[in-house]
Structure 1
Amino acid sequence: MISHKGKSIKLILIVLLYVFVSGDAEVRCIESEREALLSFKNGLIDEYDVLSSWQSKECCKWHGVECSSTTGHVTTLQLSGLDHDGVLKGDVRSSLLELHHLNRLDLSLNDFGGIPIPEFIGSMKQLQHLSLSGSKFAGSIPPQLGNLTNLHSLDLSYNSLSSTSLSILAPVFESLEILDLSYNQLNGCIPDPSAFSSLKELHLLKNNFTGSIPSSIGQLSELQVLDLSYNSLEGLVSESHFSKLDKLKTLDLSFNALILDTAPDWSPPFQLESISLGGCDVGPYFPKWIQTQRNLYSLDLRRANITDEAPRWLWSTLSLLTNLDLSDNRISGAIPNLSSTSIRYMVLSNNQFSGPIPLFSTVASDIQLSGNMLSGSILSICKTSNEHLRTLVLSNNQLSGEVPNCWENTPNLQSLDLLTTVFRVKFLALWAT
């Protein structure tokens, strides 16, 4: 027979178990971490009262603060400008070092007025995710960030960082999955990427990197996104640069002095969704390997030195294609009926396309065909209704005839460029009515 005392103990245990399972047990903020957060707040200029909730005793309920449900330690400080109205200014105080269990720090999209990235952040070795993107940091990347050997993602994009060799980050390369240094003024060569064994995304666009792309980048078997666009890179890009990139989805090498050097029968290991090689030397022939890419929705080959006839497979096999830019080449041939395609944005300007204006997709919104040798009338634009079409550029072709009165088929058309006096006058008259 269970005694009255034994029943009481059993009842208490049941209640405690219920509270634990139901999640009603309230996690309490650790006082030393609360004080560290308040010290950090005191270094900030909070003109928009972003941190107005940072007053109560329970810091785990403050805006941008997350705590462990079991220990109460602060694990996340999420103060991105995306998450609140207004920006934070001021200084980033070293009291954050007291948050020994912090693994995610996001101060992106704030305004720190051109101060350097604080060196003490390199001592927060438990960090797994660090984002300082778009917060107006300047100067060099502190070498102390190389101590963050547990980092999975590092985002320093959209700042004014300069004159830094990426070799200072070498110790963190092995753990990194995402590295975004885009939109800065970084220079020097791209380091040997073979150390990035876990890297899934590499964003280095809009910097001043020089030299060639190391062929060892082709060994990054986990890589899904490679964006090196708008730098000063040069040299050959061969099949070895892609040898093990079977998971690659996005490739952007545009506007570098790069020469694509692949065999005509090359079959790449990847299935890309987006290809951007504008401004690179891809020609003179249209790259045949692109026809193997069955998941492609965006293709940018503008200014790619292509002097060739557009292959038939371009229009027939790339069924998912929504964005196509082949402008500023010397591509010839006729443009087929595109009414059954998914193309929304198509720029074929300044080429040698000939024949009549094709039928467009009913989802097309921006069509630019200027500077070609298209001929005949523009009556084809009347044959389908398109409420999405906003821009239609047909200037500098060999078109003739009158502008038809069928604009009710394109009720959202905002810009029609024919650059022909007869067309322009008649169009304006119709528009006025």
Structure 2
Amino acid sequence: DSSVLLSFKNSVEDPSKTLSSWNISDNFCQHWNGVACTTKGRVSVLELEHLTLPGSLLVSTINALPFLLELSVLGSNFTDAMNSSEHACSLEMIKLSSNQNMTFTSSFDAMLGCQGLKVLNLSNNQIDGKIEVPIGNALEVLDVSHNLFSGEVPLFLSSQCKRLRYLDLSHNHLTGELPVDLLKNCTNLQQISLAYNSFHGTSFPSIHSLPSLEFLDASFNNFTGPVPAIHENLKHLNLSSNSFNTTRENLCPSLNSSRLESLILVNNKLTGRVLDSVLNCSSLKMLDLSFNLLAGEIPSTICKQVPKLEHFLAWVNNLEGQLPPNLASCSNLTKIILTFNNLSGNIPPELLSNTKSLQWLSLSNNRLSGEFPDSLEHAKEMLVLQLSNNSLQGKLPSNMTVQTINLRGNSLSGRIPASLNEMESRLTAKSGGCKCSISFLPASFYGFSASSPSFIDVSFNKLVGGIPRELGSMQDASYISLAHNFLSGTIPVELGDLKNIIGMDLSFNGLQGSIPGSFSSLQSLTGLNVSHNNLSGPIPQGGQLATLDASSYAGNAGLCGFPLASC
């Protein structure tokens, strides 16, 4: 077997030197990278990566290794097609993933249906055409994701999947309606991914009869009709970005028997009181119903019936009523995002003082009113607070240390607390620099990246007094907006120490004096707005300030110098 492998090595290009350990002087079973042997010293496992090789050479090498059971070729470039293999039907695992120019002849296709094959992974190869290769009855893992396959799912799947545990057809161009009984014989299936295709229709493969199924992802398709019935053993369900329009009265089969931990139904056409239908899902940790047409109030018993809830997301819906105070009894809650709804009333103080693990609270663009909650100072784990565009009143707490804060468009009064400068030290000490980003939040959703290291927006309020000089110690700050308030005094020279600041908006206030010369050293600055104040004197020159236009300084009669008139 060693001579076969050495001949193979000499016939391929190996730019990454992955075969450099293949030397005739070493024991190939013990020292050759990517090679494993049987107890009798015959090659049983061959793992290749980052090569340039003819497909025909690979097949001839397989033929010359009669005890080979597992073949893996990753990240390689094929220079011709793979043809038939006399020996390949003894293989138990074939993994050909993330390759370029990989094509098969019809005779090689037949090899993929060998009766002894247990694992077939053809992911991420840009293979096109239809899935026409029949699978063997022994197959346990089938992964053809991230290719260019088109057409419908072959019906032979339903009759030859008795041992199949893992099925991934995601990220292709597959179409058509899926028969309800497509998976009826696949009783050992544990994971299914149909995501990012073009499946459609009201029929959906029955999953209620799959007792072993734990994970199902059918997101980004065109399914319609009701959300399918859930088997009690299912743990993760993602049906986002379809057109499902209704749910059953009880989405989970029975209280306390459901194992469902993650339910993601983002961007469908669900209407009405869908939240009521999930109350039987007692094991839920992740619930995301965002971008639907949900109505009604948040059930007051949600934490009693779903006590393990950690992530509660239902933004861009039509939820109304008040936030139930006992939402704070979900002791594991770390994230609440209910932005763009019609919620009203006060923010329950218990939500901030009793929910010890809460890190992200977003209630922007609702109809919330009342006093800004003083209990925020008790939310020691809070990193992101988004309450913009409501009708909150009162003063900001003096001890407020969150990483990202957006309070834009309220009626807050009083002074800006100097404690905001503690955002950075708290971030470093408690979260190791966590940026707390969420993959499905648009970068510009809040007018700036919601994942910025430190983000402060308290614009469009009624804040008074001066800008705390302590803000200049926030070395990780990326965006600060204090615009449209009643701030007075001078711009602290310490703001010129914000080395990572990208955007700063101090416009429409009553600031006086000059623009600090230290602003010319802000190398990351791409946007500065100090317009409509009472500033005077020469504009600092150099650095990023040279890229700004006159609108950044408008409405300050005493300012002069580029890009305004000369002094």
1:360 CA displacement: 6.9
Q: For structure 2, which runs of at least 5 residues remain unmatched after alignment? A: 1-36, 63-67, 75-90, 95-114, 428-452, 488-505, 522-567
Contact persistence 1:192–1:214 (CA under 8 A): no
Greater strand share, structure number: 2
* Higher RCO structure, 1 or 2 (CA under 8 Å, sep 6+): 1
CA contact (8 A) 2:424 2:454 kept: no
**Residue from 197, 201, 216 that aligns with 2:236:** 201
Shift of the 287–121 alpha-carbon distance from structure 1 to 2, 3 Å rule, reads: same
Q: Tell me the amino acid that sits aligned with residue 360 of structure 2.
A: N
Q: Give the number of aligned pairs.
A: 383
What is the distance in 2 between the residues matched to 1:27 and 1:356? 76
Q: Show structure 1 runs of 4+ deviating over 6 A.
A: 26-30, 46-53, 425-428
Give 1:27 shift: 7.8
Going from structure 1 to structure 2, the CA distance change for 1:26 and 1:209 (only over 3 Å counts) comes to: farther
Corresponding residue of 1:63: 73
Evaluate the alpha carbon distance shift between residue 369 and residue 272 of structure 1 in structure 2; reply closer, same or farther with a 3 A threshold: same
Larger mean Cα displacement after TM superposition, 343-352 or 407-416:
407-416
| Cα distance in 1 for residues equivalent to 2:51 and 2:176 | 25
State the match for 1:169 in structure 2: 206
Corresponding residue number in structure 2 for 1:131: 168
CA displacement at 1:118 relative to structure 2: 3.8
Q: CA deviation at 1:341?
A: 1.6
Q: 1:238 to 1:357 in 2, by over 3 A?
A: closer
- Contact 2:403–2:423 (CA<8 Å) still a contact in 1? no
1:54 to 1:350, Cα distance in 2 relative to 1, 3 A: farther
CA contact (8 A) 2:207 2:229 kept: no
Q: Closer, same or farther in 2 for the Cα pair 1:371/1:386, shift >3 Å?
A: same
The answer for the alignment partner of 2:227 in structure 1 is 190
Query: Could you tell me which residue of structure 2 aligns to residue 403 of structure 1?
Result: 467
Residue aligned with 1:215, SS: coil
Q: Which moved more, 1:378-387 or 1:197-206?
A: 378-387
Deviates more, 1:410-419 or 1:140-149: 140-149
Q: Which amino acid aligns with 2:324?
A: P
Q: Larger radius of gyration, structure 1 or 2?
A: 2
Matched residue, 1:74: 117
Q: Distance in 2 between matches of 1:322 and 1:306?
A: 20
Q: Structure 1 residues 314, 91: CA separation in 2 closer, same or farther (over 3 Å shift)?
A: same
Aligned residue number for residue 189 of structure 2: 151
Number of the residue aligned with 1:391: 455
- Which residue of the other structure, out of 373, 378, 392, is the alignment partner of 1:335? 373
Deviation digits for residues 378-397 of structure 1 (CA, Å, limit 9, x no counterpart)? 24255525165432111211
- The CA deviation at 1:142 is 5.5
Residue in 1 that maps onto 2:555 = none
Question: Structure 1's 431 and 23: CA in aligned 2 closer, same or farther, altered over 3 A?
Answer: farther
Letter in structure 2 aligned against 1:274: H
TM-score by length of 2: 0.59
SS at match of 2:70: helix
Distance change (3 Å), C-alpha of 1:27 and 1:140: farther
Corresponding residue SS for 1:291: helix
Give the drift of 1:92. Answer: 5.4
Contact 1:151 1:172 in 2 (8 A): no
Partner of residue 230, structure 1: 267
Q: Relative to 1, partners in 2 of residues 1:366 and 1:129: Cα closer, same or farther, differing over 3 Å?
A: same
2:177 to 115, 133, 140: 140
Corresponding residue of 1:5: none
The match for 1:324 is 361
Structure 1 pair 250–24 and aligned structure 2 pair: CA distance change class (3 A) = same
1:180 to 205, 217, 223: 217
| CA shift for structure 1 position 169 | 2.9
Structure 2 contact 300–326 (Cα < 8 Å) conserved: yes
Q: How many Å separate the matches in 2 of 1:215 and 1:111?
A: 37
Higher helix proportion = 1
Q: Which amino acid aligns with 1:290?
A: L
Q: 1:246 aligns with which of 282, 289, 313?
A: 282
CA contact (8 A) 1:94 1:120 kept: no
Measured in 2, the distance between the counterparts of 1:113 and 1:238 equals 37
Code of the residue aligned with 1:399 in structure 2: it is L
1:349 and 1:131, CA in 2 relative to 1: closer, same or farther beyond 3 A? same
| 1:340–1:48 distance in 2 versus 1, CA, 3 Å | farther
Aligned counterpart for 1:414 among listed residues 470, 478, 482: 478
Between 182-191 and 254-263, report the one with greater CA deviation.
Answer: 254-263
Cα distance in 2, alignment partners of residues 261 and 179 from structure 1: 29
The TM-score normalised by the length of structure 1 is 0.75
